[in-house]
Amino acid sequence: MFRAIVVVAGLVVAGVAVVRPVVADDLKCEGQIVRIEGVNVTVMEKMGKEQAMKVEPATKITSGGKPVMVGDLKVGQKVHCVLEKRGNDFVCKAMEMMRDTP
């Protein structure tokens, strides 16, 4: 009985060790919104790199810590984003609009 418990526990630990690296870490993005096309938002990061992302209904968008709607986003606003890579796409999980922009 004890041996079976040890074997099962070992398999669980091995399974977690194999699966864990597959789970991607969140990516961060900071910059200015340069394009909004429906649910697709593009942010120009420092160093001139554009980061395209999808904004979903579950995306938490805030300004000054208060919730805002996706319709409140405007080209030119500075934002901080947390992204998740899904296949070839980036999905915005959270976006904070910075106060020093329109």
| Ranges of each domain in the chain | 26-97
Q: What is the mean pLDDT of residues 15-21?
A: 48
User: Which of the pair, 4 or 91, is modelled with greater confidence?
Assistant: 91
pLDDT band for position 10 (cuts 50, 70, 90): low
**CATH fold for the domain made of 26-97:** OB fold (Dihydrolipoamide Acetyltransferase, E2P) (2.40.50)
pLDDT in tens, 60-79: 999 999 999 889 999 999 99
Compute CA distances 8 → 15, 22, 23, 71, 99, whole Å.
10, 22, 23, 51, 53
55-59 long-range contacts (CB < 8 A, ≥24 apart) are 55/92, 55/95, 56/91, 56/92, 58/93, 59/91, 59/92, 59/93, 59/94, 59/95
pLDDT of 46: 87
Taking the C-alpha atoms of residue 84 and residue 63, their distance in angstroms, rounded to an integer, is: 21
- Is residue 2 predicted with pLDDT exceeding 90? no
The pTM of this model reads 0.72
Provide the percentage of residues in the chain whose pLDDT is more than 90: 61
pLDDT of 1: 60
Which two tokens mark 18? 């194999």
Q: What is the overall mean pLDDT for the chain?
A: 83
